[in-house]
Amino acid sequence: MFDGVPGWPVVLADGPVLLRPYRRSDATAWSEVRRANERWLAPWESTPVGRWEELNSPSAFRYVHRDQRRSARRGESMPFAVCLREHGRERFVGHLNIGNIVRRAFCSGYVGYWVDARVAGRGVIPTAMALAVDHAFTAGGLHRVEVNIRPENKPSRRVVEKLAFREESYHPRYMHIAGAWRDHIGYALTSEEVAAEGGLLARWHRLHAAAS
Ligand SMILES: CC(C)(COP(=O)(O)OP(=O)(O)OC[C@H]1O[C@@H](n2cnc3c(N)ncnc32)[C@H](O)[C@@H]1OP(=O)(O)O)[C@@H](O)C(=O)NCCC(=O)NCCS
């Protein structure tokens, strides 16, 4: 369907965590989760241009989905719906995107993510990140991924710390988040850093087992 785009589309899974491309039929679930999580998500997202209810309505999803499909088709992003498979059902619980992909001599992208507060603390996003990064470093043809996080966002910093990303930079007034230019800490990984360990998912399983 998307001839010529390395590694897209794809479905990835580990235990109950499933990553897949969005579908048009995700509109209702996406809107329900986004609307229920305004206070949880808004402090960490780019400053909205409009009301949360409207920007996250089922009809707004049409435009979000269209933009995601366009950029994925151009090979500029890998936008995953994050789902949990439980009790024989698949439930939409979050989002993980490898965006701003630049290829040629760079072969790098930025990872962004969020999860429904109702399933926070279960390691869903570290698992999703490990699956997506391993895929990006193999079939996706990338060499490096970056994650930029506000210093105040301790849960998100824990995600990259638990996966042993390298902290490599500090960006003053980096992005317009929740109404102001906010500093960010830059974390990164290159494919060489995880290849010797059998990938990021293998590293995550090993570190997670050692910590518990
Ligand atoms: C950051 C986020 C994606 C983490 O996802 P997750 O699947 O819950 O990740 P984890 O299960 O590994 O939990 C990460 C940390 O969150 C914290 N945490 C756990 N449960 C929590 C809860 N119910 N409420 C708040 N924080 C919680 C813990 O500090 C945990 O670290 P620990 O495992 O060392 O205790 C999630 O907190 C989120 O969506 N936050 C709002 C949006 C956001 O910040 N996006 C990232 C922007 S850079």
Tens digit of each residue's pLDDT (9 = 90 or more) over 49-94: 999 999 999 999 999 999 999 999 999 999 999 999 999 999 999 9
Residues near ligand 1 with C-beta < 6 Å? 40-41, 44, 113-115, 120-126, 149, 153-156, 158-159, 162
Mutate-to-test residue for ligand 1 from 56, 82, 159, 176, highest number of ligand atoms within 8 A of CB: 159
Tens digit of each residue's pLDDT (9 = 90 or more) over 184-204: 999 999 999 999 999 999 999
Q: Among residues 203, 96, 78, 204, which one has the least CA distance to residue 147? A: 96
Find the 121 Cα to ligand 1 centroid distance in Å: 6
Find the 112 Cα to ligand 1 centroid distance in Å: 13
Find the 191 Cα to ligand 1 centroid distance in Å: 25
Q: What are 14's strand-pairing partners?
A: 17
Asked whether the beta carbons of 44 and 50 are under 8 A apart, the reply is: no
Find the 74 Cα to ligand 1 centroid distance in Å: 31
Predicted confidence (pLDDT) at residue 176 exceeds the cutoff of 80: yes
Whose CA is closest to atom 28 on ligand 1? Answer: 155
Whose CA is closest to atom 29 on ligand 1? Answer: 155
Find the 82 Cα to ligand 1 centroid distance in Å: 15
Find the 84 Cα to ligand 1 centroid distance in Å: 16
- How many Å apart are CA 61 and CA 25, to the nearest integer? 10
Q: Among residues 186, 63, 212, 41, which one has the least CA distance to residue 120? A: 41
- Strands 180-190 and 166-177, bridge-based pairing: antiparallel
Tens digit of each residue's pLDDT (9 = 90 or more) over 26-46: 999 999 999 999 999 999 999
| 0.95 exceeded by pTM | yes
Question: Of all atoms in ligand 1, which is nearest to the CA of residue 147?
Answer: 48
At residue 188, the pLDDT reads 98
pLDDT band at 2 (very low <50, low <70, confident <90, very high): low
Whose CA is closest to atom 15 on ligand 1? Answer: 155
Whose CA is closest to atom 20 on ligand 1? Answer: 121
Predicted confidence (pLDDT) at residue 124 exceeds the cutoff of 70: yes
**Distances from the Cα of 151 to the Cα of 1, 22, 75, 174, 183, angstroms:** 40, 30, 30, 12, 7
